[in-house]
């Protein structure tokens, strides 16, 4: 039986066997509660602190600045709600119009209790404009939150410039780096972010564990209450096995980042070069060069409404890809809010096919995919020749 091809790493990643090996002792034999003072508890506590240092090292942070959460989503919630609640007034939060639902839904929640929300526009590549942020900062702002990289189109934001501009105005800056951490360099000693969210399962670690980087001196109010774990910011008995797995995944990602990014970018370019020849009506979503190494989001002129059928045909052929965000799969067939915000019309905003590569993909996976995709596209309703769109050509994609 031919092995399936998994090209949906922006949704989740397979657990690295090295991470599983690190976790195994803490799934059964080492079961102590890290808050207990006896030997079993001390062993668990030591493992948690080792993992905290490993996650911190991935970001160039101090271990004391890492707060473990149950997910990247919870880390985002803690960053936003925790910042706003730490002030006596409702506050003003500035974010981009193409954030992950973990940010946008939290903003909607905060708006109901009086927080002012400003949504920054993006250009056709999905990039936030520095001038739009500067205009927003002319008013009283509590927090700016802009994602490091888009889960939908893969565009990498100019986080360093955005954060520097925000800090010049004395405002806190948060970035949702769930898609970016472990894939591109992120060093908080150089990038003046105050808060940064990440998640283990996006970098070949386990599901159900995330973290929030909180720069020293930044005050947050907790959103989960109880025994006061994680410096009082995230009460609950720690998920020791998950935390250990997160630490191992972070350490591996840090060590292998440059090599892995180069390899995935090469695979991405191989796909682009082939599609340019076999599917000339294919076009690119997102910035041609400022994108995650293994991320490629494409559409097909005149066949945008067929993307659902295309996904099914690829799945039947043994290929796992997605249409936009996995978190929005229940809105299948609807125009992508991210693409609409980027200026695409409702037709093209329905047609995104997201191909995201990962650590265990091989050149054989890529070659087989390049045989399967044209066949699957050819089985769809043919694209009318008169349909013309202004879109970024695939040959504009440059190596990361």
* DSSP secondary structure letters along 295-318: EEEEEETT-GGGHHHHHHHHHHTT
Q: Residue 388 above 70 pLDDT?
A: no
Q: How many CA atoms lie within 13 A of 268 on its CB side?
A: 31
**Which residue, chain included where needed, has tokens 């060069």?**
289
The answer to whether the CB of 90 falls within 8 A of the CB of 140 is no
Q: Residue 85 above 70 pLDDT?
A: yes
pLDDT digits (tens, 9 = 90+) for 112-124: 999 999 999 999 9
In whole angstroms, what is the distance from residue 45 CA to residue 37 CA?
9
Calculate what percentage of the chain has a pLDDT beyond 70.
Answer: 93
Decide if 5-11+257-396 and 17-253 have a common fold: no
Locate the domains of the chain by residue range.
5-11+257-396, 17-253
pLDDT digits (tens, 9 = 90+) for 169-218: 999 999 999 999 999 999 999 999 999 999 999 999 999 999 999 999 99
Cα dihedral sign, 181-355-387-347: negative
Q: What is the pLDDT of residue 90?
A: 84
Q: What is the CATH number of domain 5-11+257-396?
A: 3.90.1150.10
Q: What is the pLDDT of residue 385?
A: 58
In whole angstroms, what is the distance from residue 207 CA to residue 211 CA?
12
Q: What is the pLDDT of residue 381?
A: 85
pLDDT digits (tens, 9 = 90+) for 11-48: 999 999 999 999 999 998 899 999 999 999 999 999 99
Position 397 confidence tier, pLDDT thresholds 50, 70, 90 = very low
Between 175 and 391, the higher pLDDT residue: 175
Q: Residue 391 above 50 pLDDT?
A: no
Record the pTM: 0.94
Q: What is the pLDDT of residue 96?
A: 98
Q: What is the pLDDT of residue 150?
A: 97
pLDDT digits (tens, 9 = 90+) for 129-150: 999 999 999 999 999 999 999 9
b or e along 98-130 (b: 16 or more beta carbons within 10 Å of the residue's beta carbon)? bbbebbbebbeebeeeebeebbbebeebbbbee
Q: What is the pLDDT of residue 2?
A: 81
In whole angstroms, what is the distance from residue 73 CA to residue 76 CA?
5
> Which position among 327, 340, 372, 383 bears the catalytic label?
327
pLDDT digits (tens, 9 = 90+) for 93-115: 999 999 999 999 999 999 999 99
**Which residue, chain included where needed, has tokens 């934001």?**
157
Q: In CATH, what is the architecture of 17-253?
A: 3-Layer(aba) Sandwich (3.40)
b or e along 143-171 (b: 16 or more beta carbons within 10 Å of the residue's beta carbon)? bbbbbbbbbbbbbbbebeebbebbeeeeb
Q: What radius of gyration, in Å, describes the C-alpha atoms of the chain?
A: 21
b or e along 273-303 (b: 16 or more beta carbons within 10 Å of the residue's beta carbon)? ebbeeebebbbbbbbbebbbbbbbbbbbbbb
Q: Specify the DSSP element, H or E, that contains 81.
A: helix 72-85
Residue 282 annotated among the catalytic residues of the structure: no
Q: Residue 392 above 60 pLDDT?
A: no
Q: What is the pLDDT of residue 327?
A: 55
In whole angstroms, what is the distance from residue 102 CA to residue 367 CA?
35
Position 333 confidence tier, pLDDT thresholds 50, 70, 90 = low
């Amino acid at each position: 039986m031919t092995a399936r091809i998994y090209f949906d790493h922006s949704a989740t990643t397979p657990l690295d066997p090295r991470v599983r090996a690190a976790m195994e002792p803490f799934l059964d034999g080492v079961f102590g509660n890290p808050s207990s003072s006896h030997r079993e508890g001390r062993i668990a506590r030591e493992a948690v602190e080792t993992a905290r240092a490993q996650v911190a090292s991935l970001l160039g942070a101090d271990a004391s600045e890492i707060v473990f959460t149950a997910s990247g989503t919870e880390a985002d919630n803690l960053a936003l709600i925790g910042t706003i609640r730490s002030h006596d007034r409702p506050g003003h939060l500035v974010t981009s119009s193409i954030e992950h639902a973990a940010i946008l839904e939290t903003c909607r929640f905060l708006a109901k209790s009086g927080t002012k929300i400003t949504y920054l526009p993006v250009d056709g590549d999905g990039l936030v404009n520095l001038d739009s942020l500067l205009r927003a900062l002319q008013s009283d702002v509590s927090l700016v939150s802009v994602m490091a990289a888009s889960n939908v189109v893969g565009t990498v934001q100019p986080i360093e410039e955005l954060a520097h501009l925000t800090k010049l105005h004395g405002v806190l800056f948060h970035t949702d780096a769930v898609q970016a951490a472990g894939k591109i360099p992120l060093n908080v000693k150089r990038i003046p972010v105050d808060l940064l969210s990440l998640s283990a399962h996006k970098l070949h670690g386990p599901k159900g564990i995330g973290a929030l980087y909180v720069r020293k001196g930044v005050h947050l109010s907790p959103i989960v209450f109880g025994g006061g774990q994680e410096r009082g910011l995230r009460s609950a008995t720690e998920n020791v096995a998950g935390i250990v797995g997160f630490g191992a995944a972070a350490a591996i990602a840090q060590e292998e980042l440059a090599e892995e990014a180069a390899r995935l970018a090469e695979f991405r370019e191989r796909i682009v070069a082939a599609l340019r020849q076999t599917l000339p009506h294919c076009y690119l979503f997102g910035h041609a060069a400022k994108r995650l190494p293994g991320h490629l989001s494409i559409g097909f002129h005149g066949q945008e409404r067929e993307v659902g059928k295309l996904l099914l045909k690829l799945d039947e052929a043994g290929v796992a890809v997605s249409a936009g965000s996995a978190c929005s799969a229940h809105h299948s067939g609807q125009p992508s809010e991210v693409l609409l915000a980027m200026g695409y019309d409702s037709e093209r905003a329905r047609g995104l096919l997201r191909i995201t590569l990962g650590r265990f993909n091989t050149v054989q996976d890529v070659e087989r995919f390049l045989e399967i995709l044209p066949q699957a596209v050819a089985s769809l309703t043919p694209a009318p020749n008169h349909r013309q769109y202004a879109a970024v050509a695939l040959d504009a994609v440059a190596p990361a």
